[in-house]
């Protein structure tokens, strides 16, 4: 072996040893940084810990739609509340509704001939099922709720019935809407509270989910049409004795001269990026209707 060859081999071994040492150092640093992340001491800074404002819903079972099925029939056969079934599958059902509406328009050549396309028809997307559709059956919610919504549970317990539930359905609420609604309905059910319906509002539209298995869409109010949704809920038949409002928006269509005529409103304000923009207006609504204001957790 020449001196040059031996020197080259020595350099290679030095490089291998150096890389191995670096690997051990990085591995140790990774264990230190990540291994202790599951627990925080009293002196640790928890700023980076994400606080979940709304709990995870239990896993759902899958149901394959059969010929002649409807959401109402499925809710009865699976022994699940229709409102929860509709809320759990709403995103999927609306998407399928839009696809089928487009197909019908292309085949039949006009909106008036498209059964699925009549947005004002009762039962619009909720009963546009077809055999083979895959629905999620919501499972019973845990009896013990996370501490983040303890105030919400207490409000439901004290709210006079029947109850109307009004939920903000704008983009910033998209991740929380279903879980919050699911918890409200589950808690109301566990307390044997009568819920007369759920009103979802966004972009001028108000969507009404009736416990008897129907859906009605109307257009009223401006973009953040909180007042319009509250008005529809307050004047429904039967009339509610209290309204549960869940939102992270301040609303921009308020008519404060009429708010005092509403039944007691229990306003649950969620934060939008750590900012409680709905706080001022929800406090005022609760005050003028002799209801209650509930501040949610940061999310």
Q: How far is CA 159 from the centre of its chain?
A: 22
Produce one character per residue of 113-152: b if its CB has 16 or more CB atoms within 10 Å, e if not: ebebbebebebbbbbbbeeebebebbeebeeebeebbebb
pLDDT confidence of residue 155? 75
SS3 readout for the chain: CCHHHHHHHHHHHHHHHHHHHHHHHHHHHHHHHHHHHHCCCCCCCCCCCCCCCCCCCCCCEEEECCCCCCHHHHHHHCCCCHHHHHHHHHHHHHHHHHHHHHHHHHHHCCHHHCHHHCCCCCCCHHHCCCCCCEEEECCCCCCCCCHHHHHHHHHHHHCCCCEEEEEECCHHHHHHHHHHHHHHHHHHHHCCCCEEEEEEEECCEEEEEECCCEEEEEECCCCCCHHHHHHHHHCCCCCCCEEEEEECCCCCCCCHHHHCCCCCEEEEECCECCECCCHHHHHHHHHHCCCEEEECCCC
Please report the pLDDT score of residue 47 as a whole number.
24
Q: Does any domain span residue 147? A: yes
Q: Say how far apart CA 51 and CA 299 lie, in whole Å.
A: 6
The answer as to whether 216 is a domain residue is yes
31 is a domain residue: no
Question: Does 13 reside within a domain?
Answer: no
Total domains present in the chain? 1
Give dist(CA 202, CA 250) in Å, integer: 13
Q: Is 70 part of any domain?
A: yes
Q: Is residue 161 part of a domain?
A: yes
pLDDT tens series, the chain, 299 aa? 555 554 555 555 555 555 554 444 444 344 334 333 322 223 333 222 222 344 455 556 899 999 888 888 898 899 888 888 887 888 788 777 777 766 665 555 544 444 445 554 544 566 667 889 999 998 766 545 555 566 666 777 788 889 999 988 776 555 566 666 777 777 777 777 888 888 888 877 888 888 776 777 676 555 568 898 999 999 998 899 999 998 888 887 899 999 999 999 998 887 776 778 888 999 999 999 999 988 765 44
Q: Is 213 inside a domain boundary? A: yes
Full-model pTM: 0.64
CB 257 within 8 A of CB 163: no
Residue 111: which domain range?
Answer: 61-295
- Tell me, rounded to whole angstroms, the distance of Cα 17 from its chain centroid: 54
**Residue 167's pLDDT is what?**
86
- Let me know if residue 113 belongs to a domain: yes
């Amino acid at each position: 072996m020449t001196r040059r060859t031996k020197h080259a081999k020595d350099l290679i071994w030095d490089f291998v040893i150096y890389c191995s040492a670096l690997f051990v150092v990085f591995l140790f640093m990774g264990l230190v940084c990540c291994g202790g992340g599951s627990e925080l001491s009293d002196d640790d800074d928890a700023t980076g810990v994400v606080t979940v404002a709304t709990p995870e819903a239990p896993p759902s079972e899958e149901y394959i739609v059969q010929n002649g099925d409807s959401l109402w029939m499925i809710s009865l056969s699976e022994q699940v509340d229709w409102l929860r079934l509709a809320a759990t599958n709403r995103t999927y059902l609306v998407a399928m509704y839009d696809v089928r509406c487009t197909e019908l328009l292309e085949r039949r050549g006009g909106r008036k001939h498209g059964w699925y396309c009549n947005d004002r028809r009762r039962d619009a997307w909720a009963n546009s099922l077809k055999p083979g559709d895959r629905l999620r059956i919501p499972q019973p919610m845990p009896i013990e709720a996370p501490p983040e919504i303890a105030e919400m549970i207490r409000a439901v317990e004290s709210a006079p019935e029947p109850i109307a539930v009004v939920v903000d359905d704008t983009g910033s609420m998209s991740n929380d809407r279903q879980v919050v609604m699911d918890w409200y309905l589950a808690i109301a059910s566990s307390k044997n509270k009568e819920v007369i319906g759920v009103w979802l509002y966004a972009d001028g539209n108000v969507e009404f989910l009736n416990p008897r298995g129907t859906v009605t869409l109307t257009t009223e109010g401006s973009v953040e049409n909180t007042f319009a949704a509250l008005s529809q809920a307050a004047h429904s038949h039967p009339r509610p004795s209290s309204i549960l409002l869940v939102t992270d928006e301040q609303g921009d269509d308020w008519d404060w001269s009429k708010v005092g005529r509403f039944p007691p409103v229990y306003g649950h304000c969620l934060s939008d990026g750590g900012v409680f923009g709905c706080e001022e207006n929800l406090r005022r609504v609760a005050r003028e209707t002799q209801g209650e204001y509930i501040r949610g957790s940061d999310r």
